[in-house]
Amino acid sequence: MQTAAGGADMTPARVLWLTGLSGAGKSTIAQATCQLLRSQGRRAVVLDGDELRRGLTRDLGFSDADRSENVRRTAEVARLMADAGLVVIVALISPFRADRALARALFEPGRFIEVFVDTALSVAESRDPKGLYKRARQGRLPGFTGIASPYEPPLAPEISIATEQMLPDLAAARLAALLG
């Protein structure tokens, strides 16, 4: 988790909720967006799924119930941080629409911005920085999202970012502009 230094910040506290397959580019875009916002004097923080699983949610597995609890805990933390005045950038697979809807319900209208990091499974699989897709295809990662467990893309996200066509810095600029 990264937080910004203090200072005058006129950005309304909001949550950018980046969802997409493993390897889609969520973390890269989240970090680039946070860095850009900070360079503009805005207070921002990243809640990254991988980092959360090493700490706050390390007791959770990958069953549907555990995935839902992972999203719930992350949304609660994001709400607390947004209430403290931060722009919170969440990078979390969050594969189920119902869980993302519950996360959205914690926020006043306009404070939760769903960002679909849209990447074809074949592209995400070819990137596979952690070798997860390979292990899933070998049957060594049961229930892996996109292979043995579904990913439900958002039906009406506020913004979609096709990472096959947009570099992370441009995606970050679009997200920062969306915040105003």
CA 23-135-48 angle, to 5 degrees, is 35
Q: In angstroms, what CA-CA distances link 32 with 138, 175, 177?
A: 33, 10, 13
Contact between 92 and 18 (Cβ < 8 Å): yes
Task: Encode 85-104: b = buried (16+ Cβ within 10 Å), e = exposed.
Answer: ebbbbbbbbbbbeebbeebb
Q: Among this protein's residues, is 94 annotated catalytic?
A: yes
Q: Give the type of residue at 38.
A: R
Q: Which residue in the list 22, 27, 94, 149 is annotated as catalytic?
A: 94
Measured at the alpha carbon of residue 12, what is the angle toward residues 11 and 15, in degrees to the nearest 5? 105
Instruction: Please identify every residue annotated as catalytic.
Output: 94
